[in-house]
Amino acid sequence: MATIEQCREALEQLSRNLGAANGDVSKAAALDRSLTCWITDLDLTFSGRLKGGRITDVVETPGPPPAKAEIRLAMSGDDLVAMVGGQLNFASAWAGGRVRLEAGFRDLLRLRSLL
C-alpha cells in the first residue's frame, strides 16, 4: 500500500507533468478549478487548485473530501502512484471503476484530452 508521502510525491509529479505539457493537454490543464483527490485506502483527501497548468495550494485532511470541489478524484494510493508513474492507464482505470472522476460536463469535455 502506498504511503501518504508517496501519494503526495505522485501529486507533485502530476503537477510538474501538467506544467510541462503542451498542445491540447496544456489547454485542458489551464483550467482554474478546485480539486480534491480522495485516497480511499488511506482515507485521506488532498485538496488544492488546478490553476495555470499546475496543482497548487495542496493540503491534506483526514477522511473523504470535506467540501465539494469542482473536480473530484477518488482512488487508492497504489493506483495514484501507478498512474503518475505510467504503469496504469487513466482511461482504463476509470472505465474499470478503479478511479472515480466527477466534474461538471464542460470540465469533463476539456479534461478528456488528459485521459
pLDDT tens readout for residues 60-104: 999 999 899 999 999 999 999 999 999 999 889 999 999 999 999
Give tens-digit pLDDT for 25-70: 666 667 899 999 999 999 999 999 998 888 999 999 999 998 999 9
pLDDT for the residue 28: 63
Q: Which grid cell is 95?
A: 472505465
| 3 state SS of 73 | strand
Q: Which grid cell is 22?
A: 503542451
> The cell 495555470 sits on which residue?
52
Q: Output the 3-class SS for 6-56.
A: HHHHHHHHHHHHHHHCCCHHHHHHCCCEEEEEEECCCCEEEEEEEECCEEE
* Domain spans of the chain, in order of start: 4-114
Q: Measure the CA–CA gap between 40 and 26, rounded to whole angstroms.
A: 28
Which own/partner contact pairs does 81-90 have at CB distance under 8 Å and 24+ positions apart? 81/2, 81/6, 81/7, 81/10, 83/10, 84/10, 84/11, 84/13, 84/14, 84/17, 85/10, 90/114, 90/115
pLDDT for the residue 25: 64
pLDDT for the residue 90: 87
> The cell 465539494 sits on which residue?
68
81 secondary structure, DSSP code: H
Task: Provide the CATH number for the domain formed by 4-114 in this structure.
Answer: 3.30.1050.10
